[in-house]
Chains A and B, each alone.
Chain A
Amino acid sequence: MMPKPPLIGRRAALATAAAATLVAPGVWSWPLPARAQQATQGAVIDITRARTDPIPIAVPDFAGTSPEAQRLGRDIAQVILNNLRNSGLFRPVERAAYIQTAEAAAQAPRFQDWRVIGAQALTTGRAEVGGDRIRVEFRLWDVLPEQQIQGTAFTAPIGNWRRIAHLISDVIYERLLGEKGYFDTRVCYVAESGPRGRRTRRLAIMDQDGENHRFLTDGSFAALTPRFHPNAQQIAFMSYFQNQPRVYLFNLDTGRQEVLGNFPGMTLSPRFSPDGRSVILSATRGNDANIFVVDLATRRERQLTSGGGLDVSPCFSPDGTQVVFNSDRGGDQQLYVMSADGGNVRRISFGRGRYATPVWSPRGDLIAFTRIANGQFAIGVMRPDGSGERILTEGWGMEGPTFAPNGRVMMYFRESPARDARGGGYSSRLASIDIAGFNERQIMTPTDASDPAWSPLLS
């Protein structure tokens, strides 16, 4: 067997006895004392190699101090396992190959047992239930140098056990890959049902892994294109309430909906500014659609573009200084970037076909888009100056990319064509893909789905 380098390079002592930290509503965490030589900070995994070389990791069930805690421990390990596998950057070691029992590993890992089955990383944990609360201890181990990389305890109401599993997944991701994870997030999307010509379109929200699914609107009016506020508690979307297509705000805490702005015509394609203080959107007037910014405190509108075509789908750069949008001002749909005050407009898409639905990566380095060319739809990325265009996936119909908060994964929706004149065979489903163009996966939803919006990290 080839000697492998340790997952974590540098070694240092972790400051112990740190105060508990509130990591999410109702979820507290604090570091655990190290059980072995401990390493900190500075993951050395090169994420570019992950495409061909996902990290082999073992995630045995978390032990439990009671039957209920054992069940929760199993479920937590399963959620973590699914998260890591679905990222495409980890390869869970076949559980049937495990030698050491979960209970024993939670006491003290016997590293040779994990090394021999090919695991480079190992997580162990223990769940404890007291009253209506759950406490979960979690440790991440680097198997080859036999080091503890991380030890953290979480407590939360039992009902929040999934949040704990997602938070642990994010810790594993960040410690081993050196960049933030995206598991403690939600996805808002448009749930579609009914016949093709008269579909019911409702806002729905779920955890990024499809759990905790619920509908936000009742289907009495069509709801389209939801987008998250940076605080993840508010959604801007387009609603046909009372047959007046307008941009609305939806408060996830209160369920309250309110129309945004006082525009004479249709408003569409909203997105929050990165500071959360305003919404950028498109408003139609006469034969044009122009881009406006609405200040959420004063509700004052500021017009950024005027005349000369349909300007839609605006999106701020993460630093808030620039806006990318979609316009047919030059004849067909292309992407343009302008300053946040509306000045210095320049076209950035010059490839073959039409370009639409631009969205700026949270990292700032890429703009994702939909391209329509030769009767095919594609999702791609380019740099903000238009260089380096790369198509990630292509098909009969797909659009609407949305970035995970770390900018590493995108979600979008993919349609398949009708086979007959009654619309049979048509479908619309959510999918995700790594921005390197691999690990394309369908995201399961109870009904057909479109317009996914990936939330920021919830904590």
Chain B
Amino acid sequence: MMNTKLLGAFAAVALLAACESSSDQTAAATGTGAASTLGNGAAPRPGSQEDLVANVGDRVFFATDRSNIAPDQRPVLERQAAWLQRYPQVTVQIEGHADERGTREYNLALGQRRANSARDVLVANGVAGSRISTISYGKDRPAALGSNEEAWAQNRRAVTVVR
């Protein structure tokens, strides 16, 4: 009985992995995959997530418990805004995330506020709000899997994902 249940859980995981593509995994995959692709002389397709990651930067980072865009992160969003104006057919979703050193519910709200902060900068730089949706995953989808300051800094993030 229990084995069947566990098998069910594993099947669900496999299914999820097969049909869903995480922005972080995409970013990581293109990070490593880009070397071989570029080695062949091919560039990422313009206007794609791979293009955004390789040539613009898909994410900004936040200080602990903060959701304002720090001055050193602003240029990334300004480049994203310019890139989005170059590809007007592209719509994006901004995913807000938090590190694991907070409670789940508060971090969900905090991740939403971080996504909104990033969105506000894109809009202030001329991107139509209708092209941008936001979502929060709180602390539940870490990009860096360690339990240390470096990992937490990487996880306090807003990631722009081409839809």
Which residues in A have some Cβ–Cβ distance to B below 8 Å? 191, 193-194, 196-202, 213-215, 218-220, 222, 224-225, 238, 243, 245, 265-266, 268-269, 282, 284, 286-287, 289, 310, 312-313, 326, 328, 332-333, 354, 356-357, 370, 372, 375, 396-397, 399-400, 415, 417-423, 426, 446-447, 450-451
In whole angstroms, how far apart are the Cα atoms of A386 and B142 in the complex?
A: 34
In whole angstroms, how far apart are the Cα atoms of A166 and B54 in the complex?
A: 60
Which of B10, B110, B142 is in CB contact (< 8 Å) with A193?
A: B10
Tell me the nearest residue of chain A to B11, going by C-beta: A219
Q: Take A399-B103, A418-B147, A426-B147 as given contacts and tell me if A193 and B9 are in contact as well, using a CB distance cutoff of 8 Å.
A: yes
Enumerate B95-140 residues with CB–CB distance to A below 8 Å.
100-106, 108-110, 112-113, 116-117, 135-136, 140
Q: Take A196-B145, A422-B145 as given contacts and tell me if A356 and B105 are in contact as well, using a CB distance cutoff of 8 Å.
A: yes
Which of B10, B24, B105, B143 is in CB contact (< 8 Å) with A312?
A: B105
Question: What are the 9 tightest A-B residue pairs by CB atom distance, in nearest-first order?
Answer: A423-B145, A219-B12, A417-B147, A356-B103, A310-B109, A289-B109, A418-B147, A194-B13, A269-B105
Residue numbers in B under 8 Å from A218 (CB-CB): 12
In whole angstroms, how far apart are the Cα atoms of A372 and B15 in the complex?
A: 36
Question: Using a Cβ–Cβ cut-off of 8 Å, how many residues does chain B contribute to the interface with A?
Answer: 41
B65 contacts A446, C-beta separation under 8 Å: no
Enumerate B139-163 residues with CB–CB distance to A below 8 Å.
140-147, 151
In whole angstroms, how far apart are the Cα atoms of A193 and B15 in the complex?
A: 13
Which residues in B have some Cβ–Cβ distance to A below 8 Å? 2, 5-6, 8-10, 12-13, 15-17, 22, 24-25, 65, 67, 100-106, 108-110, 112-113, 116-117, 135-136, 140-147, 151
CB of B152, distance to nearest CB on chain A (Å): 11
B103 contacts A243, C-beta separation under 8 Å: no
Which of B5, B15, B142 is in CB contact (< 8 Å) with A196?
A: B142
Residue numbers in B under 8 Å from A245 (CB-CB): 108, 135-136
Residue numbers in B under 8 Å from A396 (CB-CB): 147
Residue numbers in A under 8 Å from B145 (CB-CB): 196-197, 418, 421-423, 426
A287 contacts B67, C-beta separation under 8 Å: yes
* Number of cross-chain contacts by CB at 8 Å: 146
Q: Take A313-B105, A357-B103, A420-B146 as given contacts and tell me if A202 and B12 are in contact as well, using a CB distance cutoff of 8 Å.
A: yes
Q: Take A312-B105, A312-B106, A426-B147 as given contacts and tell me if A289 and B112 are in contact as well, using a CB distance cutoff of 8 Å.
A: yes
B5 contacts A421, C-beta separation under 8 Å: no
In whole angstroms, how far apart are the Cα atoms of A238 and B140 in the complex?
A: 13
Residue numbers in A under 8 Å from B136 (CB-CB): 245, 266, 284
CB of B68, distance to nearest CB on chain A (Å): 10
Residue numbers in B under 8 Å from A191 (CB-CB): 9
In whole angstroms, how far apart are the Cα atoms of A268 and B67 in the complex?
A: 19
Q: Which of B17, B105, B113 has the most CB of A within 10 A?
A: B105
In whole angstroms, how far apart are the Cα atoms of A197 and B157 in the complex?
A: 14
Tell me the nearest residue of chain B to A270, going by C-beta: B105
Which of A193, A197, A269, A420 is in CB contact (< 8 Å) with B143?
A: A197
Tell me the nearest residue of chain B to A370, going by C-beta: B103
A357 contacts B105, C-beta separation under 8 Å: yes
Residue numbers in B under 8 Å from A197 (CB-CB): 22, 24-25, 141-143, 145
In whole angstroms, how far apart are the Cα atoms of A219 and B113 in the complex?
A: 26
Q: Take A193-B10, A215-B5, A370-B103 as given contacts and tell me if A268 and B16 are in contact as well, using a CB distance cutoff of 8 Å.
A: no
Residue numbers in B under 8 Å from A289 (CB-CB): 109, 112-113
Q: Which of A222, A312, A326, A354 has the most CB of B within 10 A?
A: A312
Residue numbers in B under 8 Å from A199 (CB-CB): 140
Q: 23 A-B residue contacts at CB 8 Å? A: A193-B9, A193-B12, A198-B22, A198-B25, A198-B141, A200-B9, A202-B12, A213-B2, A218-B12, A224-B104, A238-B108, A243-B135, A268-B109, A287-B67, A310-B113, A312-B106, A332-B65, A356-B102, A396-B147, A420-B146, A423-B145, A423-B146, A426-B145
In whole angstroms, how far apart are the Cα atoms of A282 and B138 in the complex?
A: 14
Q: Take A197-B24, A421-B151 as given contacts and tell me if A450 and B15 are in contact as well, using a CB distance cutoff of 8 Å.
A: no
Tell me the nearest residue of chain B to A355, going by C-beta: B103
Residue numbers in A under 8 Å from B135 (CB-CB): 243, 245, 266
In whole angstroms, how far apart are the Cα atoms of A310 and B111 in the complex?
A: 11
B104 contacts A400, C-beta separation under 8 Å: yes
Q: Take A198-B16, A266-B112, A268-B108 as given contacts and tell me if A215 and B9 are in contact as well, using a CB distance cutoff of 8 Å.
A: yes
In the complex, besides A198-B22, A287-B113, 4 extra interface pairs with C-beta distance below 8 angstroms are A201-B140, A266-B109, A266-B112, A289-B113
Residue numbers in A under 8 Å from B140 (CB-CB): 199, 201, 222, 224
Q: Take A420-B146, A421-B144 as given contacts and tell me if A451 and B12 are in contact as well, using a CB distance cutoff of 8 Å.
A: no
B112 contacts A400, C-beta separation under 8 Å: no
In whole angstroms, how far apart are the Cα atoms of A199 and B138 in the complex?
A: 13
Residue numbers in A under 8 Å from B143 (CB-CB): 197
B104 contacts A399, C-beta separation under 8 Å: yes
A225 contacts B22, C-beta separation under 8 Å: no
Residue numbers in B under 8 Å from A415 (CB-CB): 100
Which of B8, B16, B106, B142 is in CB contact (< 8 Å) with A333?
A: B106
A421 contacts B146, C-beta separation under 8 Å: yes
In whole angstroms, how far apart are the Cα atoms of A396 and B113 in the complex?
A: 26
Q: Take A193-B10, A399-B103 as given contacts and tell me if A220 and B142 are in contact as well, using a CB distance cutoff of 8 Å.
A: no
In whole angstroms, how far apart are the Cα atoms of A194 and B102 in the complex?
A: 21
Residue numbers in A under 8 Å from B65 (CB-CB): 328, 332
Residue numbers in A under 8 Å from B109 (CB-CB): 266, 268, 282, 284, 289, 310, 312
Residue numbers in B under 8 Å from A194 (CB-CB): 13, 16-17
